[in-house]
Amino acid sequence: MLDIQQIRADFPILSQKVNGKPLVYFDNGATSQKPQIVIDAEVKYYQEINANIHRGVHTLSQLATDAYEISRGKIKEHINAKFAHEVLFTSGTTHGINLVSNGFASILKPGDEVIVSSLEHHSNIVPWQMLCEKTGAVLKVIPIDENGELILEDFDALLSEKTKVVTLNHISNALGIINPIKYIIGKAHAVGAAVLIDGAQAVPHLKPDVQELDCDFYAFSGHKMCGPTGTGILYGKEEWLNKLPPYQGGGEMIKEVTFEKTTYADLPHKFEAGTPNIAGGIVLGTAIDYLNSIGFENIQEYENELLAYATKRLLEIEGLKIYGTGKNKASVVSFNIDGIHPYDIGSIIDKLGIAVRTGHHCAQPIMNFFCIPGTIRASFSFYNTKEEIDQMVEAVKKAQTMLS
């Protein structure tokens, strides 16, 4: 059993008032709040060891380099990568996906196929469209059903020896659906395709085991898992990272530079050109330690309780419809109320201190599928409470009365 009040005390922002009301923060799918230990670690880095990494022989540079590499090792353990050099620091999920999609530009041929799912965030659609435009490859899409679940028979039918890449999210940001990625990875590998998993919405709720999943790439952001913005990780299997060309050229990523020819550094440095977000990379390790100290099993159990409670309470509201009714879900509820634009509800409940996301959630194809302009999305974290859900339900009812 988690002591939620004690956990909430770790997050200074949660005791704030917004618009004169206590903050109810249900926009965790967009970014999570940060515990004091993470905020302190960021300050401590700049106060005590700030220096550039992998360059100087001086003491601070060594300290900063060690802290950065210790963090990489921690993340390697956390996701169970085989080697630390398979763990690349990025600025976030978007960066990680673009690193991979750009790399495939030198591998794909006209007529090759890339499969994405209908549930993707724009950042796992657009880079692949750009890749297809550049290479003449063809983009194929796994459809969803009315519950927001992928139609697996249709996925099976899309696969062929032309399939070179399959990419999809672990958990959908717009609907909260948990995708059967293990099945998809197995099927994709059977035709020789590489698989990238967008784990942005998964890592706040669970601990991915990249070896057990056997995915080729797994991308995520630090800021959705209690870490700083501008941080992220791209896991890639060693053989794939060796095969892909570097994404950016610059300092740090070279072995030797002459004007005739440059040779690239070994992994992971080949993909880490320039001075990275050093503080952020170190502090992402702190955030992961924090989450592990609470325990992902505890987090999941409690968040499932919040999800069930919110689903039940929201469905008491007349005319309310939930999108994403599949069985396997993370703590996200996406909904609309008959005849009312989601933006109007969002604006009114904001005045009552409740922060939710309204709109298409960077997933317009899903909204098109359901023929709606967007939804109201409440996404819960382990620091949220049932009382807060009650407050949201009351606020939504009030908004409904005002607007109808």
Q: Is 362 a catalytic residue?
A: yes
User: Looking at beta carbons only, is 307 or 352 nearer to ligand PLP?
Assistant: 307
Q: Exposure string (b/e) for 110-129, b if CB count within 10 Å is 16 or more?
A: eebbbbbbbbbbebbbbbbe
- 3-state SS string for 39-85: HHHHHHHHHHHCCCCCCCCCHHHHHHHHHHHHHHHHHHHHHCCCCHH
Which residue in the block uniquely carries the two structure tokens 């994404």? 247
Residue 156-185 contact track with ligand PLP, rule CB under 6 A, x = bound: -------------x---x------------
Residue 202-221 contact track with ligand PLP, rule CB under 6 A, x = bound: -------------------x
User: Looking at beta carbons only, is 177 or 348 nearer to ligand PLP?
Assistant: 177
User: Looking at beta carbons only, is 277 or 400 nearer to ligand PLP?
Assistant: 277
Please select the residue that binds ligand PLP; options are 86, 113, 149, 198, rule is CB under 6 A.
198
Please select the residue that binds ligand PLP; options are 200, 282, 392, 396, rule is CB under 6 A.
200
User: Looking at beta carbons only, is 169 or 400 nearer to ligand PLP?
Assistant: 169
> In the structure encoding, which two tokens stand for residue 4, read together?
């939620």
The CB-of-90 to ligand PLP minimum distance in angstroms stands at 9
In angstroms, what CA-CA distances link 204 with 144, 310, 352? 24, 19, 27
Partners of residue 323 on adjacent β-strands: 334
Q: Considering the rule CB under 6 A, would residue 334 count as an interface residue with ligand PLP?
A: no
Q: Considering the rule CB under 6 A, would residue 28 count as an interface residue with ligand PLP?
A: no
Alpha helices in 162-227 (DSSP H): 181-190, 210-213
DSSP 3-state assignment of 184?
helix
Distance CA 364, CA 330 (A): 20
> In the structure encoding, which two tokens stand for residue 391, read together?
């407050």
Residue 109-128 contact track with ligand PLP, rule CB under 6 A, x = bound: ------------x-xx----
Please select the residue that binds ligand PLP; options are 28, 93, 117, 334, rule is CB under 6 A.
93
User: Looking at beta carbons only, is 65 or 124 nearer to ligand PLP?
Assistant: 124
Residues listed for the chain: 404
Q: Which residues are designated catalytic? A: 362
| Binding positions for ligand PLP, rule: CB under 6 A | 92-94, 121, 123-124, 169, 173, 198, 200-201, 221, 223
